């Protein structure tokens, strides 16, 4: 059994970011980069599944510049078996990423794709759904628990009405939620072993033709100061004056 895990290089969620003066992107000067937290959860879950079934092979893949090797090596240190870097300087939108991942899936033939539900930089939450559609595979999103039952997966999903449990056949696409697990601390022996694990560099399958583009990136406006009100009546009156409630 083989699990394929896409890993994205993102700005550390705890870093304070600021846009470039011309609004064309983010100023990355002195910024630390990490594995997208949801993807890190996916790697951890695959490692836990492999601990129960030693026959599982874990393959991580990233699409981007050579700098992505740092995040792939961390995934290898966590327990992944090998890595693939689709090395490119081109910018891909969600659809372009889905197309590249489909090419990797066609080559690797994984039992299922396990990936973060979204990336913390653009928060699109689109790639997994697009990939499943292109592959014609079933999907289960926002998993809070995963178990393997023969040739099927049982996935628990937390909804507004409670926990929903679904069973889907493999091959399939699964996306991870925050409550699935807490990624382990990467110990020094794992970091050392990761240096010798295979990392293949390949070119993209095609030149991207984005269907979306970033017009401008800017900081959110300053939040107006709040004020205390003396009564419910005054609160309602203020909300009506601001058009929040009908007059």
Mean pLDDT of the chain: 93
pTM, full prediction: 0.87
In 3D, which of 131, 153, 134 has the Cα closest to residue 143?
153
Inter-residue contact 158 to 128 (CB < 8 Å): no
Q: Give per-residue pLDDT as tens, 31-66.
A: 999 999 999 999 999 999 999 999 999 999 999 999
Q: What is the CATH number of domain 2-214?
A: 3.40.50.620
Give the list of residues 6+ apart from residue 175 with CB closer than 8 angstroms, or none. Answer: 38, 42, 114, 115, 116, 117, 128, 139, 140, 141, 142, 143
Per-residue model confidence as pLDDT tens digits over 130-165: 999 999 999 999 999 999 999 999 999 988 888 999
Predicted confidence at residue 108, as pLDDT, reads 97
Which stretches within 53-125 are classed as H helix? 69-78, 94-108
Distance CA 81, CA 66 (A): 19
Q: Taking the alpha carbons of 154, 178, 121, 43 in that order, is the dihedral positive or negative?
A: negative
pLDDT value of position 180: 94
Cβ-contact 71, 9 below 8 angstroms: yes
Spell out the domain ranges in the chain: 2-214
The rounded Cα 197 to chain-centroid distance in angstroms is 23
């Amino acid at each position: 059994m083989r699990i394929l895990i896409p890993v994205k290089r993102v700005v550390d969620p705890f870093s304070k970011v600021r846009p470039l003066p011309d609004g064309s992107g983010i100023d990355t000067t002195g910024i630390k980069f990490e594995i997208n937290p949801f993807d890190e959860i996916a790697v951890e879950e695959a490692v836990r599944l492999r601990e129960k079934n030693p026959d599982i092979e874990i393959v991580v893949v990233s699409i981007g510049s050579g700098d992505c090797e740092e995040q792939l090596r961390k995934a290898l240190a966590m327990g992944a078996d090998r890595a693939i870097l689709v090395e490119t300087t081109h910018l891909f939108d969600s659809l372009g990423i889905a197309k590249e991942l489909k090419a990797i899936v066609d080559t690797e033939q994984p039992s299922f794709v396990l990936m973060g539900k979204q990336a913390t930089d653009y928060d699109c939450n689109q790639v997994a759904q697009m990939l499943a559609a292109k592959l014609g595979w079933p999907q289960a999103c926002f998993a809070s628990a995963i178990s393997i039952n023969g040739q099927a997966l049982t996935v628990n999903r937390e909804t507004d009405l409670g926990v929903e449990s679904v069973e889907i056949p493999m091959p399939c696409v699964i996306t991870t939620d925050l409550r699935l697990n807490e990624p382990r601390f990467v110990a020094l022996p794992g970091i050392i072993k990761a240096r010798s694990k295979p990392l293949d560099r390949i070119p993209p399958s095609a030149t991207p033709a984005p269907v979306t583009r970033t017009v401008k990136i800017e900081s959110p406006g300053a939040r107006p100061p709040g004020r205390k009100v003396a009564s419910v009546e005054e609160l309602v009156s203020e909300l009506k004056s601001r058009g929040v409630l009908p007059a």
